[in-house]
Amino acid sequence: MPQPHHSPDDNSLEIVFSRFERHTSFSPEIFTGFSSLRVLTYTASIPMIVDMLNQFETVECVFGFEGVLAGLSHILASQRFICEELTTAIQGLEDQRKRKILEYIHLGKARFFVMRGAISHSKLYLLESPTKRLVITGSANWSKRAFSGKQSEELVAFENDDKAWAYFERRYRQIRERATLDIASPTLVKEVVRIEDVPLIQHAQEAKEGLTVFVHSPSAQNVLSLPRVLHTVERLSDEYKHALPSLAQPKNGRIQFNAPLADKVVQLVKSRKQKGQEGEEPTWLSINKETRNVFLTGQAIPLAPEWSAVESDVQCLIEYFENFRQGFVGDIAQHQRDYFLFLCWFYCSPFVCDFRNDATIQHNFLFDFPQFAVLYGKSNCGKSKLVETLMKSMFGHYTCMDKVHFTRTNLQALRDIRRRFPVVFDDIDKKRFTDHATELIKDEGYLRTEYPAFILSMNAEDHSFSTEIYKRCLMIYTRASLPGYNVAAARSLHKSVTAIQNRLTTALYHEYLRRMLDRLAIKPLPSDMLHYSSEIVTNIFTQASSSPLPHWCRTLTIDDYQGRAYDKIRTELKQLYLSNPSIWKIGRSEIVLLVPGNSRELHRIIPDWILKEGSKAGTIILDRPQLESFLQMSFRRAWLQRFFPKNNA
């Protein structure tokens, strides 16, 4: 019976009927003995591609797209994204592996294709040799993670099945020949992919009769569920939409794209960029731990800094931390220790995704690897300047998001497009935090190869957080600050911090990255990221400083932090007891707290292991032993007398 023929833009859904024979665990050995590999996927990892090049004589990959390509701007954006992913990954390869893949590309033994509109969601692997054939299809994209067995993936294989081979090979060929464009080898060696490098533009300029591009009607999508690729493509597409408002409107789901139209697209996009109308490229950070390559928005970060520059940066940060003794009031020593703890977490934050991914897969304690840091407390305590200074030491510039963009949708999008580059918001108010951050903070099932940490600073003193937030975030609360009346000290500190920031380079952080990657290459991911990070920082400070280290510069553990995470709540409860002891009814095993008015807010912020059942409006019942342990005090009259000897005489 003849097989039905389908064009690549056919929307039909097909079912392949097959019989179950056996199952087995996946092993790379299944690829042994084949000389040719053809892949249809919509994501792939370069390490996987390079491994396959070492095994097969020819490798071919067609990249589909998991979203809706509703117009020319979407098609251009998706193709540019795939080209950027490939070029960034190839740049990150060590020299020998890079030469290998570029040689295969030059000889035509490795070819890469992108869709020109007709979407493929399929994952298909065709392996062939003179004596055998194998079809593999299923849910796994072409990456080491997907084939590692650590994700929930399924594959179905057809071994030396002529009918299956004929069907799937024809399907692959139809998509590749009628719905794709190959990526030119010169594009794959470029540092920056521009509009003129996009395959659709290049092929249209070369084709005598132009190209037919297939588009689909847009459909509503849940933005919160979109992965990084879709968010990035949507952002690029929005830029192109503004540049191409009336060009190439689809007719019957098709666009006829030719050389004059391609030239016009390039001209409009470049003109818009020259006028400063093109959207700003968001800063992103990518780290390949295998190849030890670090890229900041496409530019390679060198990991061999001059030691004299490292020494200078260390001295700058020591001066910065010692500045807190100039005019600040409160517990200055603890203030310095807390901010150094934040430094160690912040320097390590680009690796938080690795720690959390590993903890999720290994079923380890995820709360030991906070993705969010919250700096809060009194005003004028130096939170904003701390983040600004540390970012300058890490990346050479300070990047902060406008708080109007602090919404659930934008936070999700930033998590998907920034890769490992930390996202900073300053002066977030309580309502905005509660409305938009809580859901993301509690999302513990997020698994992506790269995603960023978030840093939030809050100036208001009335911030309070639930136990669910405290145990998931790095909470840095400080009571030390610069009094508003001390204008002379404020002026002097501003001048000093500005001078320090002007002297700072990125040498210290590049040395930190080098040592971190060295460690990760020989040791498994640590169970205590703060200890791991603070060891590296203090070792660099020790070697780069000619003087003994200050008291605040020391190795830390996650227990050091978690012991202080609830400091603000401790302070509030102690102050409430000291200021109004009559509302505390102390029993043998429990304490009844009679709160005037609405007790809901206080009830919400008290750690749940201290609360006992039976609390209601105006009354909070607390477990006495747990509360005494938490406050590190005993509810006895002798304790009160030490604080109020006259009142209790």
pLDDT in tens, 226-245: 355 555 665 566 666 655 65
Q: Quick one: tokens of 323?
A: 């500045």
CB 355 within 8 A of CB 370: no
Higher pLDDT, 318 or 247: 318
Residue type, 43: T
Asked which of 225-229, 263-267, 299-303, 376-380 is least confident by mean pLDDT, the reply is 225-229
**Torsion angle (degrees, nearest 10) of CA 553, 557, 558, 560:** -70
Q: What does the pLDDT average to over 312-340?
A: 94
Across 12-21, 114-123, 247-256, 502-511, the highest mean pLDDT is recorded for: 502-511
pLDDT of 240 reads 66
Asked which of 189-193, 325-329, 512-516, 556-560 is least confident by mean pLDDT, the reply is 189-193
Phi first, then psi: give them for residue 356, nearest 5 degrees: -70, -40
Closest Cα to residue 513, out of 389, 347, 310?
347
Across 31-40, 429-438, 455-464, the highest mean pLDDT is recorded for: 31-40
pLDDT grade for 346, boundaries at 50, 70 and 90: very high
Angle of helix 307-322 versus helix 332-348 axis, rounded to 10 = 140
- pLDDT, tens digit, 9 for 90 and up, residues 385-435: 999 999 999 999 998 998 888 988 888 878 877 889 999 999 898 888 888
pLDDT at 277 over 50: no
- pLDDT, tens digit, 9 for 90 and up, residues 97-148: 788 888 888 888 888 888 876 556 678 999 999 999 999 998 777 776 667 6
Angle of helix 383-395 versus helix 487-503 axis, rounded to 10 = 10
The strand ranges marked E within 36-99 are 36-41, 58-63
CA torsion sign, 596 to 587 to 579 to 561? negative
State the burial class of residue 206 (Cβ atoms within 10 Å of its Cβ: 0-12, 13-18, 19+).
exposed
CB 194 within 8 A of CB 265: no
Higher pLDDT, 120 or 602: 602
Closest Cα to residue 392, out of 507, 489, 254?
507
CB 303 within 8 A of CB 513: yes
State the burial class of residue 182 (Cβ atoms within 10 Å of its Cβ: 0-12, 13-18, 19+).
middle
CA distances from 14 to 174, 177, 517 (A): 15, 20, 47
Q: What does the pLDDT average to over 593-607?
A: 75
pLDDT at 642 over 70: no
Q: What does the pLDDT average to over 503-520?
A: 96
Residue type, 323: N
pLDDT of 371 reads 94
pLDDT at 528 over 80: yes
Q: What does the pLDDT average to over 482-496?
A: 86
pLDDT of 232 reads 61
pLDDT of 193 reads 84
257: helix, strand or coil: strand
- pLDDT, tens digit, 9 for 90 and up, residues 36-62: 999 988 766 666 777 777 788 899 988
pLDDT at 248 over 70: no
pLDDT grade for 445, boundaries at 50, 70 and 90: confident
DSSP per residue, 430-497: HHHHHHHTHHHHT------SS---EEEEE--TT----HHHHTTEEEEEE--B--TT-HHHHHHHHHHH
Residue 448: other Cβ atoms inside 10 A: 14
CA distances from 118 to 12, 172, 254, 262 (A): 13, 13, 10, 19
pLDDT of 646 reads 43
Higher pLDDT, 5 or 245: 245
- pLDDT, tens digit, 9 for 90 and up, residues 56-95: 889 998 887 666 566 777 788 888 888 887 887 777 777 7
544 vs 311: CA distance, rounded Å:
5
Higher pLDDT, 305 or 72: 305
pLDDT of 88 reads 76
Asked which of 206-215, 319-328, 350-359 is least confident by mean pLDDT, the reply is 206-215
Q: What does the pLDDT average to over 313-329?
A: 94
What is the helix (H) or strand (E) element at residue 115, kind and residue range?
strand 110-115
pLDDT of 223 reads 33
Q: Quick one: tokens of 284?
A: 């992103």
CB 47 within 8 A of CB 138: no
Question: 594 has which bridge partners?
Answer: 619
**Torsion angle (degrees, nearest 10) of CA 78, 80, 82, 86:** 180
318 vs 332: CA distance, rounded Å:
14
624: helix, strand or coil: helix
pLDDT of 62 reads 87
**Averaged pLDDT score across all residues of the chain:** 81
408 vs 390: CA distance, rounded Å:
26
Strands ordered across the beta sheet of 454-458:
423-425, 454-458, 372-377, 473-478
